A and B are shown apart, each in its own frame.
Chain A
Amino acid sequence: MIRILLLLVGLLLLIFHAYISPLSTQTQFVIFLVGIVLLGVPHGAADLLVANQTADHAKRNFSKFSFLFTYVGRLGMFAAILWFLPVIGNFLFIAFAAYHFGETDLHRFKTNTIAGKLFVFSYGLLILGVILLQHFHELKSLFAFFESGRENENLISFIDSKKYLLLSICAVFFFASTFFYFSSTANDQTDSGYFLLQLAVLLLLLFHLPMLIGFTFYFIVWHSVLSLTNIVIYLRRNNVYAPGVILKQIVFYSGLAMAGVSMVGFGGFMFVNTNTILVYVFLGLAVLTAPHMQIMHDMYNRLRLDRQHGL
């Protein structure tokens, strides 16, 4: 039900933008920033509680210090890869993000097998492909802000010239891996298949909305709301965490993350113009989400294992 409501929000957004009043770049940017503050960052702010809950379920000891050490370590490592090897860093980020998006949308499926992982990855890759490749001209202007973007102009132009071929490869990969996945798990399936129709509507929306508002819709409205719902349900299992505790944790770590991003901004180059802010917000998000994706993967893995054992 929640997915249908979210798709309706997207449809209203598209109708408003296409037929009533096109959203200016400035308005899109404000919606994006407000969304990031209210939903985007908070959906990753409960990672500590989620990791704690996962450790409890697996009957493992949980150390807050070692969690934070690993978390910040992963964050730093990904920031270093992006800094020193930006092309590899970008492709790695797309691959991890594709898996993470796919896993969030398809978490009810038994995807612990190789076929399952391919299914999840191809689904997320298709969504990211539509957001990024369909609006590649908008993305290109953002790449130009980076030295590495200017140095890799040939690669960027190649991707631009082959974007529909690349999108079609993503599509064929998705159909093939989905068929392969369901063929290998045919006896275990009880799903209605509606996820395919939801994906159709989702892709139509992402294709027709401008990149920033499309990304805002997918990442903030769709992904963050679904993730937050899953996180709250997971943390409320067996009444381990009271709603107040979850809320406090989310508010505290969201504040911390946003303070960090603002400090970086005030310390240097962020508040120059809309495009520059956008570039650094995207980069900041990429770095922040690197350890979050692992925590969420562990959570969904736990949920899948519990379902397998009938818990």
Chain B
Amino acid sequence: MCVEFYLITKKAGAKMSLLWKLIAASVFMLVTGYIGEAIYPTEKQSWIWGFVSGLAYFYIVYLIWFGDVAKLANNSGAAVAKANKTLAWFVLVGWAIYPIGYIAGTEGGLFGVRVLEGLSLDVVYNIGDAINKIGFGLVIYALAQSDKSSSAQS
């Protein structure tokens, strides 16, 4: 999904370094989250790995909302800026479903309380995937359509 941010801002001059930044942050987020979930799922360890994974997620949020991606999107015209804003909301809210899965799936979880104990990790992640991947795809599709019609008009 991070690749899509690079692709939609490429027209405004996004460089490969931005793509690598997004990929590196995603990998860091996923690997540290995996360590907390699968390798050290104790209350003590899951807290720190979950939080560090959260920081990488927040770095992506930062790039999309306030950083390089936001600046490039704002310079790419109204349609890209609007699509970027929608995608940014997906990342901020939609991606937050994954930490909920993390809380459900690890002993003690992120908040040190077991409010979601018993809830299946897979259910939460499937809901997250359905919202984020389908929603993300639809936004990109809408952007491509609007770009196509504006190209045809000109």
Give A residues with C-beta under 8 Å from B: 130, 134, 162-165, 167-168, 171, 175, 178-179, 182-183, 186, 189, 191-193, 196-197, 199-200, 203-204, 207-208
Contact = CB atoms under 8 A, between A and B. Distances in A.
A130 B51 CA distance: 11
A163 B44 CA distance: 10
Nearest to B51: A171
Given A164-B43, A164-B108, A203-B51, A193 B113 contact: no
B104 interface: no
Contact of B65 (A182, A199, A207, A208): A182
B52 interface: yes
A142 to B, nearest CB: 20
Given A167-B51, A200-B56, A207-B48, 5 more contacts: A164-B47, A175-B58, A186-B65, A193-B66, A204-B52
A164 B112 CA distance: 5
Q: Is the interface of A mostly helix, strand, loop or mixed?
A: helix
A179 B111 contact: no
Contacts of A164: 43-44, 47, 108, 111-112
B54 A175 contact: yes
A176 B48 CA distance: 18
Contact of A197 (B54, B59, B108): B59
Given A196-B62, A197-B56, A165 B111 contact: yes
A207 B62 CA distance: 24
Given A193-B62, A196-B62, A203 B52 contact: yes
Nearest to B48: A207
Most B Cβ at <10 Å: residue of A167, A200, A203, A204: A200
Contact of A178 (B58, B68, B108): B58
A164 B108 CA distance: 9
